[in-house]
Structure 1
């Protein structure tokens, strides 16, 4: 059996601590150190959930690689599929055209990547899951990466690993490369607003399916759906949450040592205000639709 010369290899989730290219436990600080004489065949890197393009742009050694985002699915749960993706604008959508758009880093054909917020990823910060300890890079370094509770070694997070290898400041942006958009899975957004512990319950999927039926697919909801149109069919808190995530107006508690990050979309009083407004609007609408009597005309 022979391998086709059209096959390509793109290293995946390159910052994950375990078994990845730059992972804290991999032992490699450069692509060349890992792939040696095969390095020249690699032209793209997949960034993983716990990092995004701005984090990778801080390493000048990665300038020659195109950054792509793909969400691997380790389970059969549908909400794990498509959390990250690549958006192309191609005359023909063929394997060769996709590969060439990635290889050339052509921002007119490879438009942008869809990213989760890196804090959402399971290894963004350094920490120790068993003790519930999670710390940012500076604090982790001051602790010697040792858990302050049990004195065992913590799992080094992606943000700390990037800090170790970066030769550019935060905020550096290269010219002429594909862009990116930050989103979160729609089912998990709905789960958060409804206050349930699991996105697979019927309560979540009833709302999810209502939005998909109206707007066609999950990305159309997350990227383009107007607030007013969403609020016509679902709780306005969910509509507002989608807008805030789209506009990057949310806060996240970073994930660590295999624990997903937690998103905070509203302060308590904000959510209550939206519900009160919904009740007021509904009451006004019902009053406007009530059957008129003769006294209305006197």
Structure 2
């Protein structure tokens, strides 16, 4: 079967994460988004591990589903278009390793997967000797990356590790702040056990394929969601049995691996170089001319993902390799609807419109990828045009840098208003009966965690900021379970 997998997210026990990041809400949003296979996140945290054991039951080999009584409660709150979708969980965790190597402090994040609770428990016992697992859902441990990989492999057949958001400046294996130039440098004699790399929000497979050394790795993309509404903003596609070991085989061999759904990398927080406090955003060649120094304050710039890719690249932009897999860049549907309605993506107006669209047309990913544009146009004026442009890659980008999300737009400033004034039929027919938006509106939530103080704290404590999404933390609309 063909399905979307999102195998990197966090629970409510991780810092800067929504209190709604529990199994019920994760399952509710997975159905709404169209994600079949989910990571549990944070299985290393004692309280979350206990909840996982109590509320998940075995399903297919190495996978779990929500307890039947809890699942029935969720189904009652969803429209029939998505209520019956299967959702399965794979035991997952993100680990932050902080250590000295080669005269430098290294801070590297890793995704770890286990085929069952016994293997996860064995892993936790050993990991607990290197750090306090109860302090954060994503623990910071004083282990070399190579040693973390060894502990993972020793935990049982099928246990495996995937380097997380590999280009992120602060905590990626290739990151400009504390990373390495090759996988071999990081994982040493065990590097042959690495077979997949997570691209992260600020890069995509095309960027990664500029580095020929990465041809042997499968590129995976996941949401790194810190709140349930952010599930599925990036996914990996599989066409396999719904089975832990089938997914593992697909990642090892490529058979059944169907590519990824990506952010436009320009929307990620670290695509370009810069210094956000000074309002300085630079292309890689500009950074090199300045010697990596901010022209305003004289401090070191944060060198972003595109620069690091160019540092390591041995192929020009646009050249394909023999190992290329398909990928599609999308904008999350609430952002598309928010642009059309001229409100923030977490506003009540967008929430109401999203409810109607999902009830009528199915999951958010299905709407973005598969529903005919004529059907979209009949539900919300200009949505068909917007999604058509998105599918063709006709977008306008304002790239992110130094912890600041980029912006991807589908319409030029004033274009929607001019089209409306001209009464363009293809864009602004009257909505179908029942379509429209509630009168109430709500301001978009601030992204306050993106400021430099947070980034500095993250650097000191080993906290990643690539996936933090405070516009969804505690304030995002969730299902009424």
Shared fold per TM-score greater than 0.5: yes
Shift in Å, 1:245 = 1.3
Give the Cα separation in 2 of the matches to 1:21 and 1:182: 23
Give the Cα separation in 2 of the matches to 1:212 and 1:104: 35
Q: Which residue of 2 aligns with 1:296?
A: none
Cα distance per residue 1:200-246 (max 9 Å; x no partner): 22101111122111221011111112222112121x22332122111
Matches within 5 A, 1:26-65: 26-65=178-217
Q: Which residue of 1 aligns with 2:246?
A: 97
Q: Which residue of 1 aligns with 2:403?
A: 258
The total of aligned residue pairs comes to 276
Change (3 A) 1:176 1:138: closer
The farther-off stretch of 200-209 and 48-57 is 200-209
| Alpha-carbon contact 2:201-2:267 (below 8 Å) kept | yes
Q: Which residue of 2 aligns with 1:16?
A: 168
> 1:233 aligned to 379, 383, 391, which one?
379
> 2:313 aligned to 162, 166, 190, which one?
166
1:179 is aligned to 2:329: no
Shift in Å, 1:160 = 0.5
> 2:391 aligned to 228, 246, 250, which one?
246
> 1:144 aligned to 267, 291, 315, which one?
291
Higher helix share: 1
Paired residue secondary structure (1:10): strand
Give the Cα separation in 1 of the matches to 2:352 and 2:429: 23
| Alpha-carbon contact 1:14-1:46 (below 8 Å) kept | yes
| Alpha-carbon contact 2:395-2:408 (below 8 Å) kept | yes
Higher strand share: 2
Give the Cα separation in 2 of the matches to 1:147 and 1:116: 28
Change (3 A) 1:269 1:181: same
Q: CA RMSD in A?
A: 1.8
TM norm structure 1: 0.88
Paired residue secondary structure (2:382): helix
Shift in Å, 1:273 = 4.4
Q: Which residue of 2 aligns with 1:209?
A: 355
| Alpha-carbon contact 2:331-2:408 (below 8 Å) kept | no
> 2:277 aligned to 130, 138, 159, which one?
130
Q: Which residue of 1 aligns with 2:367?
A: 221
| Alpha-carbon contact 1:119-1:255 (below 8 Å) kept | yes
Paired residue secondary structure (2:178): coil
| Alpha-carbon contact 1:237-1:274 (below 8 Å) kept | no
> 1:193 aligned to 336, 340, 344, which one?
340
Give the Cα separation in 2 of the matches to 1:103 and 1:157: 29
| Alpha-carbon contact 2:215-2:323 (below 8 Å) kept | no
TM norm structure 2: 0.55
Give the Cα separation in 2 of the matches to 1:148 and 1:28: 27
| Alpha-carbon contact 1:131-1:149 (below 8 Å) kept | yes
Change (3 A) 1:280 1:257: closer
Paired residue secondary structure (1:200): coil
Q: Which residue of 2 aligns with 1:119?
A: 266
Shift in Å, 1:194 = 2.1
| Greater C-alpha radius of gyration | 1
Give the Cα separation in 2 of the matches to 1:280 and 1:216: 23
Gaps of 5+ in 1: 284-298
